Amino acid sequence: MKVVKLIKLLIGVVAAVLLCSIVGTYVKDYYNAYQQEYTSTETNPGRDVVIEIPEKASAREIASILKKNGLIQFEGAFVKRLKNSEYRGRLQSGTFTLNTGMNTLDMMKVMSPTVEANQPIDQLVIPEGFTVDQIAVRCEKQGICTKQEFLNAVRSVTATDFPYLNDIPAGANVRYKLEGYLFPATYDIYPDTTAKSLVEWMLRTFDNYYTEELREQAEAMGYSSYDVVTRASMIERECKVPEERAIVAGVINNRLKKDMMLQVDPTVLYPLTEGMYDQTSVSYEDLEIDSPYNTYKYTGLPVGPICNPGLACIKAALYPEEHNYLYYHTDNEELGTHVFTETYEEHIDTQNGEE
C-alpha cells in the first residue's frame, strides 16, 4: 500500500510540475505576443481586410472590430498604444482597407486620414492666469465649442486619465478640480477638435512642462502638485513684474509660517466674480465673502488654485526667495510693481508715502 501511495504521490507531483510548466510557458508566450503587438513597427505580408467603423465608435469598440476581423489579437494592447500615440482621439469613422500584416500604428494611420494633411483652422491663446471660466468663454467666442461643452469636459476628466490629479484632496470644495492644471499656451484648433480633446491636450501640456526636476523639488519641499499650482496661481494673479514672483512666493511662505492670514485680493475676486476677474479691486464689504478661497477670512492656503498659472510662477512657488518680508502693496498701478516691507508699521508708512 505504501508503494502504491508513493507512486500516486509521484504521479501527482509530476503532473503538477508539468501543469506549472505548461501554464508558465503559456503566460510567457501570451506576454511576449502582447508586447509584440503593442510595440511592433514591422510590416509583414498579409491579406487585405475591409472594415467599417461606425460614427462615434470608442477606442475599445474599434479594437473589438479589429479583433473580430482577425487584424489584432489583443484589444487592450491596441487601446493602450492608441492612448499613448499621436493618433489618440483622431480615429475616423468610415470604410477602411487594412492588412493582417500591418502593425497597429499603421492601422491607426490608415484610420486617421486627416492627421497629416489636416491643417489648423484657428488658434486658441490661453494667457497665464486665465481661469477655467475665462477659457470656456473664449472658446465660445471663437466658435470652438460652447461654454457649457467646455465646462462639461472639464468636469468629466478623472484621475484615471491623468494620475497627477490624484493630488487633488478628496471632497475639496472647489469651483473646478482642474483649475490650475489647464496649462496656458497657444493651441492649434482643427476641424475635429472637441471640448474634451482640448481639455485633455491642456492637461498633457501641463504634464510635459511639470518635469521630473520640478516634481522632485516639490517633493523635497513637501508639496503636492496641487499645493504647487495653488501657490503659483496666487503669484500669477498678484505679479505683473517677473522679478517679483519669487519675492511674493517668499512672502506667502513667511506669512504661512507665522500662521498669518495671506490676505491676497485675488482670492476674494475669484469667488466674487465667479472666476471671470471682471472686477479689479475689492471693497471692505467684499472681503467678508464667505468662501473657502477667501484668504482674508480663513488662514492657510485657499482651498484650491484661483487660476491656471504659467511655468514661471510654478517655478517661483518651488524656488521662492528667502527674506523677512511679510507685507507688500502696489506702488505703481501702471507697471504693477510693489513695495515689500517686514513690519506692519513700515507697510503703513510706505502706503502713506513716508520713508
Residue 247 Cα distances to 218, 233, 258, 309, 326, angstroms: 18, 15, 17, 16, 10
Predicted local distance difference test score (pLDDT) of residue 355? 46
Instruction: Please check whether residues 236 and 325 belong to one and the same domain.
Output: yes
Q: Which of 151, 15, 123, 34 is nearest to 81 (CA)?
A: 34
CB 171 within 8 A of CB 164: no
Predicted local distance difference test score (pLDDT) of residue 117? 43
Predicted local distance difference test score (pLDDT) of residue 286? 96
What CATH number has the domain bearing residue 83? 3.30.1490.480
Evaluate whether residue 38 is within a structural domain.
no
Single residue among 174, 208, 242 that ends a domain in this structure: 208
Residues linked to residue 189 through DSSP beta bridges, in sequence order: 122
Predicted local distance difference test score (pLDDT) of residue 39? 86
pLDDT at 188 over 60: yes
Single residue among 158, 173, 208 that ends a domain in this structure: 208
pLDDT at 24 over 80: no
pLDDT digits (tens, 9 = 90+) for 256-304: 999 999 999 999 999 999 999 999 899 999 999 999 999 999 999 999 9
CB 328 within 8 A of CB 339: yes
Residue 264 Cα distances to 145, 227, 342, angstroms: 33, 16, 17
Return the CA Rg of the chain: 28
Mean pLDDT over 186-215 rounds to: 95
Instruction: Please check whether residues 215 and 346 belong to one and the same domain.
Output: yes
CA distance 190 to 192: 5
Q: Which domain holds residue 249?
A: 211-351
- Mark residue 14 as left, alpha or beta (left: phi above 0; alpha: psi -120 to 50; beta: remaining): alpha
Predicted local distance difference test score (pLDDT) of residue 116? 46
- Mark residue 143 as left, alpha or beta (left: phi above 0; alpha: psi -120 to 50; beta: remaining): left
Instruction: Please check whether residues 179 and 200 belong to one and the same domain.
Output: yes
CA distance 214 to 209: 9
pLDDT digits (tens, 9 = 90+) for 114-133: 544 468 889 999 999 999 99
Instruction: Please check whether residues 219 and 203 belong to one and the same domain.
Output: no
Mean pLDDT over 21-25 rounds to: 61
Instruction: Please check whether residues 274 and 161 belong to one and the same domain.
Output: no
Predicted local distance difference test score (pLDDT) of residue 86? 85
Q: Which residue bears the cell 501554464?
A: 23
Evaluate whether residue 158 is within a structural domain.
yes
Instruction: Please check whether residues 283 and 347 belong to one and the same domain.
Output: yes
Evaluate whether residue 161 is within a structural domain.
yes
CA distance 194 to 211: 27
Instruction: Please check whether residues 227 and 275 belong to one and the same domain.
Output: yes
Evaluate whether residue 64 is within a structural domain.
yes
Instruction: Please check whether residues 74 and 128 belong to one and the same domain.
Output: no
Evaluate whether residue 275 is within a structural domain.
yes
Evaluate whether residue 27 is within a structural domain.
no
CA distance 156 to 176: 11
* Count: domains in the chain: 3
Single pTM value for the model? 0.68
Instruction: Please check whether residues 220 and 144 belong to one and the same domain.
Output: no
Single residue among 110, 137, 157 that ends a domain in this structure: 110
Instruction: Please check whether residues 170 and 278 belong to one and the same domain.
Output: no
Instruction: Please check whether residues 266 and 147 belong to one and the same domain.
Output: no
Evaluate whether residue 2 is within a structural domain.
no
Evaluate whether residue 13 is within a structural domain.
no
Residue 21 banded pLDDT, cuts 50, 70, 90: low
Instruction: Please check whether residues 133 and 260 belong to one and the same domain.
Output: no
> C-alpha grid cell for residue 322?
528667502
Predicted local distance difference test score (pLDDT) of residue 36? 87
